[in-house]
Structure 1
Amino acid sequence: MIGVAFADARADAGQYVLAALRRSVSATQAQAITRNMLHEIAPDVVVAVDAPDAWSADLIAYVNARPRKLIVFGHMPIALADYLRYRPAALSPGLALASRSASAPSGESRESAAAVRYGALARTLGGAGWHRPLERFDFTDEWNNLGYGAIRADGSIWALAEAPEVPAEAELAAVVVNGERQFAYAALWDAGASGVLWFNRPVGPCDSFEWRLVEQFLSGYRSDALPCQPVLSELPWGYDAAITSRLDCDEDVESARPLWQAYQRLGVPFTLAVHTQNLQRGGQHDILRELLADRQQGAVLSHTATHSPNWGGSYDTAIAEGAQSAELLERATGVPVRYAVSPFHQSPPYAMRGLIDAGYAGCIGGIIRNDPEFLTARGGALAGLPAGFVGHSQQCMLHGDCMRKEGDPLAIFKQAFDTAYATNTLFGYLDHPFSERYAYGWSDEAARIDAHEQFIAYMRGKAQRPLFLHEEAALDFLRFRSLAQIIEQDGVFSVVTRCADTTSFALGVEFRGAHTKVEAGKALQ
């Protein structure tokens, strides 16, 4: 079991970290613990979230008691810092400006002067020489097609905690400004007989592909000498990539037909997320019924009733938006709707509570501009929400506006997939059907279809065993995974699965350097 320790003043960050861990190791294997438990009945793995200086002695005693793993997110308590040769310093006032990105013009990207740069030690945890701007945009000041959130410099839980130095041999990553190193961002120590991993942010990298380093530390780091925690893979067993895509029908539905026909030729499942005011116009229903005639290849999701920003601004409007949309879609197709896509990808917590009470099983959203708590490295249960409801972040928008004007037009989309592929991440991307008013930056339908076909060909060429899913199948698998439970008894782990009839896919688990198929109830070796 992983213990997550945080003071009351950091309960917000603590709850987001706890939820992120549970998305990786199941709800049964990550629990909030008290400070007192650090030296009484402490688990073999502890995550300390922005721990106060007064906790130093407890954490030092914890790592010295026996071989264990400690993860520190955010502030490093002062005596523990001294023990690890970590030298704290205050953040520069100029970092606030360097952490922000300009808005992206059409066909170009923009990113902050400040970035996180990973070094060679990251390979120890399955990483690479990653370059991760603190903020970046591919469309105005809204979308980051590479998928991660923003690292702030504003004192919030999403911000850098301090500007320290760590021993060179321990540094995983550093913050750079205009390419010049400034201070440490992540580090890995062997402290006595224990291992310590640190990230310079109270919530750690929970909103980024970098979470893969946390999973690798938990599941396999020094597996010959340190305790390890099984991690459930986000990819269905037997595949090395999982890809899902959709069209968000903001202004039209039927105009999705040419692209759908292209996906049919390619044998790739297709999803429409429907804003149901579109159904008031004639000629918008047939494609939905035709799409759902083959439930293996087609899916329809709700995209709300009125496409109102922030789901209308309250729990009450969110539940009304979700309920009305689901009713209209079922009336049009005869098929119940279980999942939603947030308008503008805005996914405030009250809206998710409204969707739960409207009967939904999950929601797709996530955007760097707002609601940072919904930008999650792994899909699954969200902080403070009940089991059985899942969220999935899909920030990759395949629009003509986002195609690079110079070089390979698909370069950013390929990079997004490459990163997902390298980090075992279920990858999602989106586009929109054309309307009379708006073509989303595409010159015409032929150019759009060609770009989609090229991108699918690239992913098929990159992966050895790619799996293409429609959104309902992807979310069904994430929900199945979120309800699985890793059980530990007398030092032996096994996995218990629930609701296996909702998906045809099996789970994989990573443990002590091996990736194996989950056999329910069977001990992991």
Structure 2
Amino acid sequence: MIGVLFPETSSAAGRLVLAALQRSVSAAQARPLACAGLFAAGTPALIVAVDVPDAWGDALVEWIDGSAGKLLVFGRLPEALASRLGCTHAAWPQGLAEAARSVPALAGHDAQSAARVRYDDTATMLGGRAWERPFERFDFTDEWNNLGYGAIRADHSIWALRHPLDVPPAARLASVEIDGAARLAYAALWQQAQSSVLWFNRSVGPCDSFEWRLVENFLSAHRADVLPCQPVLSEIPWGYDAAITSRLDCDEDIESARALWQAYQRLGVPFSLAIHTSNLRDDTHYAILREFAASAGTALMSHTATHAPNWGGSYEAALAEGTESMRLIEEVTGQRVRYAVSPFHQSPDYALHALCDAGYAGCVGGIIRNDPEFLIARGGTLAGLPDGFIGHSQQTMLHGDCMLASGDALAVFKEAFDLARETRTLFGYLDHPFSPRYEYGWTDEAVRIAAHEQLIAHIRSRAVKPIFLDENAALDFLGAKASIQVVEDGDAFRFIAPRASSNALVFAVEYRGECVPVTNKGLPR
């Protein structure tokens, strides 16, 4: 069990962190904890503290000195704990706000901020490596980051750096650099005699990044010989080392998706279409839709009724967009859609609630430009949304506009997959069909198909046993995973699936450095 500490003043970050933990370990194994609960009977041996005040610092020091456990701290280190861990105060670097932002990307190029996070080789202790990531990066104007992670801000928000601190060299995992010079600590790991402390200098930690893998490894495997560990449910089904899903968002045309669909059929890779139902005013699109709906290895999704920015700007507009799209797709194909794709990947909270109320089981979105709450490292239940509705971030946009003008044109997309495989993340990418108005940077269909084929070839060359899933199958798997409850039963962890699911894949669980299938026998604690 993981106890999550946060004061009311930090509840916005606290709720997002709690939801992120629950997506990794199940809702039953991460629960809010009062400060007084640190010393109550049955206190969890794994504690997460989110932006806690100085008044709680002595209690946390006493806990790490007297408990055999793990403490994960996001954001503010209370003064007593910072002192106990040997931290020193620093000044905020001049020009940090400007260095944290990137200029827009030009076609054929990416763009990155001057401020970046650089991990040391010590990150290997938590299953990472010497990663390097900018605070903000773009592959298309100022909208998309095809590597999938969110932005680290310098604006005093929950997405910003929290503390101008430095840490002892032996504890440092990652530094904040500006123009190559280290300025502050970003992440640190301390090894105590009876405990370990992991800290990220951000109120929400790395909940929107591949770096979340360090958190999972800290909880599930770090010092497994002497400290308690928490089982982590994997996004990759048992027996596979990578999982991939892809789709076309049919903003302006549907029939022109046929050529790429045929290419995917030749490759034996499932295919998905997200339908913007204004296109259905033209019945020339009906044939491909009906053929597609009747084929194996395909998935239909809603892409709204009118592709309105921010789902129309209100709960009522979003409800109408989702309801009308669902109705029209079923009317044309006889198939009821269960999942939606956000227009422009904009996923405001009111729209998610509207989709849930319209009967959808989940939504795909996520983009670095807006709605940072929806850029989630792991798919599953969202903070503030009911059980049975899930989200999944898929920010990798395979467009001609994003192909690099020099070197390997597909280098960013290959890196995006490699990061996903390395961190056991379900990898989703998207493209759009051509339309009479817009070709998304592709010169012609042959060039576009060749790029898709090359990315799939790269995936198959890097993964030993990848599984390609259509979007319905991928989201069904995440939905079924979100329904699993990990419970402590005496000397074992047991896995309970409370609701029926169409998912036929076996779940994997990571615990004490091993990855094993989820079974009715459970795991010894």
Q: Normalising by the residue count of structure 2, what TM-score does the alignment of the two structures yield?
A: 0.99
Partners of 1:172 and 1:517 lie apart in 2 by: 31
Distance 1:70 1:106 in 2: 44
How far does residue 178 in structure 1 lie from its aligned partner after superposition?
1.2
- Aligned-pair CA distance for 1:292: 1.8
CA shift, 1:283, in A, is 0.9
Please state whether the residue corresponding to 1:183 is helix, strand or coil: strand
- 1:496–1:521 contact (8 Å) kept in structure 2: no
1:93 is displaced (CA, Å) by: 4.1
Where does residue 92 of structure 1 map in the other structure? 93
> Which residue number in structure 1 is paired with residue 62 of structure 2?
61
The farther-off stretch of 367-376 and 58-67 is: 58-67
Alignment match, 1:43: 44
Distance 1:480 1:362 in 2: 12
Alpha-carbon distance in 2 for matches of 1:282, 1:336: 19
Supply the distance in 2 between the matched residues of 1:184 and 1:523 (Cα, whole angstroms): 37
Match of 1:168 in 2: 169
CA 524–318 in structure 1, closer or farther in 2 if over 3 Å, else same: farther
**Which residue does the alignment assign to 1:125?**
126
| 1:232-274 Cα deviation digits (max 9, x unpaired) | 0001111100000000000000000000000000000000000
Alignment partner, residue 280 of structure 1: 281
CA distance in 1, matches of 2:308, 2:520: 43
Residues 206 and 377 in structure 1, CA contact (< 8 A), matched pair in contact too:
yes
Q: State the distance in 1 between where 2:372 and 2:521 align.
A: 36
Q: CA deviation at 1:39?
A: 2.1
Task: Extract structure 1 runs of 4+ deviating beyond 4 A.
Answer: none
> What are the equivalent positions in structure 2 for 1:317-356 lying under 5 Å apart?
317-356=317-356
Secondary structure of the corresponding residue to residue 337 of structure 1: coil
Name the CA distance, whole Å, in 1 between partners of 2:17 and 2:136: 21
8 Å contact kept, 1:90–1:162: no
Of 184-193 and 372-381, the range deviating more from structure 2 = 184-193
One-letter amino acid matched to 1:407: G
Whole-Å separation in 2 of the counterparts to 1:301 and 1:501: 19
Find the residue that maps to 2:92 and give its secondary structure.
Answer: coil
> Which residue in 2 is equivalent to 1:242?
243
Q: Distance in 1 between matches of 2:18 and 2:94?
A: 31
What SS is found at the alignment partner of 2:387? coil
Cα distance in structure 1, aligned partners of 2:125 and 2:402: 34
What is the DSSP-based 3-state SS (H/G/I as helix, E as strand, rest coil) of the residue aligned with 2:116?
strand
Cα distance between partner residues in 1 of 2:474 and 2:267: 19
Spell out, residue by residue over 1:280-335, the C-alpha distance to the aligned partner (whole angstroms, 9 max, x if none). 0121011111112134x111000000000000011111111001000000111111
Q: Does the CA contact (< 8 Å) of 2:480 and 2:501 recur in 1?
A: no
Letter in 2 for 1:204: G
The 3-state SS of whatever aligns with 1:284 is: helix
Q: Is the 8 A contact 1:39 1:61 kept in 2?
A: no
Shift of 1:192: 3.0
Query: What secondary structure is seen at the aligned counterpart in 1 of 2:381?
Result: coil
1:426 aligns with 2:429: no
Instruction: Report deviation, 1:500.
Output: 4.9
- Counterpart in the other structure of 2:403: 403
Kept in 1, the 8 Å contact 2:89–2:166? The answer is yes
Contact 1:270 1:470 in 2 (8 A): yes
Alpha-carbon distance, 1:139 to partner: 0.1
Q: Per-residue CA shift, 1:162-201, capped at 9, x if unaligned?
A: 2211111110100111111111100000123101000000
Query: Partner of 1:476 in structure 2?
Result: 476
Give, in whole Å, the separation in 2 of the partners of 1:233 and 1:273.
26
- In the other structure, the counterpart of 2:302 is 302
Query: RMSD value over aligned CA atoms?
Result: 1.0
How many angstroms apart in 2 are the aligned matches of 1:450 and 1:236? Answer: 29
1:114 aligns with 2:115: yes
SS in 2 for 1:401: helix
Task: Please name the residue that 1:364 is paired with.
Answer: 364
User: Which residue identity is paired with 2:85?
Assistant: L
Report deviation, 1:76: 0.5
* Alpha-carbon offset, residue 524 of structure 1: 4.1
1:379 CA drift (Å):
0.3
Matched residue SS, 2:245: strand
Inter-partner Cα distance in structure 2 for 1:467 and 1:88: 48
Unaligned runs of 5+ in 1: none
Q: Which moved more, 1:439-448 or 1:490-499?
A: 490-499
Which AA in structure 2 matches 1:152?
R
| 1:209 aligned partner | 210
- The residue identity in structure 2 corresponding to 1:146 is L
Aligned to 2:219: 218
SS in 2 for 1:181: strand
2:170 is paired with a residue of what secondary structure?
A: helix
Superposed displacement of residue 109, structure 1: 0.2
Deviations 1:87-133 (A, max 9, x none): 12342341000000000000100000000000111001010111110
Output the TM-score relative to the length of structure 1: 0.99
Q: 1:524 to 1:107 in 2, by over 3 A?
A: farther
Q: Which amino acid aligns with 2:9?
A: A
Structure 2 distance, partners of 1:522, 1:74, is: 34
C-alpha contact (below 8 Å) 1:48/1:73 kept by paired residues = yes
Give the conservation status (yes or no) of the 8 Å contact 2:50–2:203. Answer: yes
Separation in 2, partners of 1:22, 1:501 = 19
CA contact (8 A) 1:84 1:191 kept: no
Q: CA deviation at 1:491?
A: 4.2
1:187 corresponds to = 188
- Relative to structure 1, the CA distance from residue 234 to residue 524 in structure 2 (aligned partners, 3 Å threshold; closer, same or farther) is farther
Residue 31 of structure 1 aligns with which residue? 31
Secondary structure of 2:175 counterpart: strand
Q: Which residue of 2 aligns with 1:383?
A: 383
3-state SS of paired residue (1:71): strand
| Aligned amino acid, residue 328 of structure 2 | L
Equivalent position SS for 1:443: coil
Which amino acid counterpart does residue 289 of structure 1 have in structure 2? R
Equivalent residues, number: 524
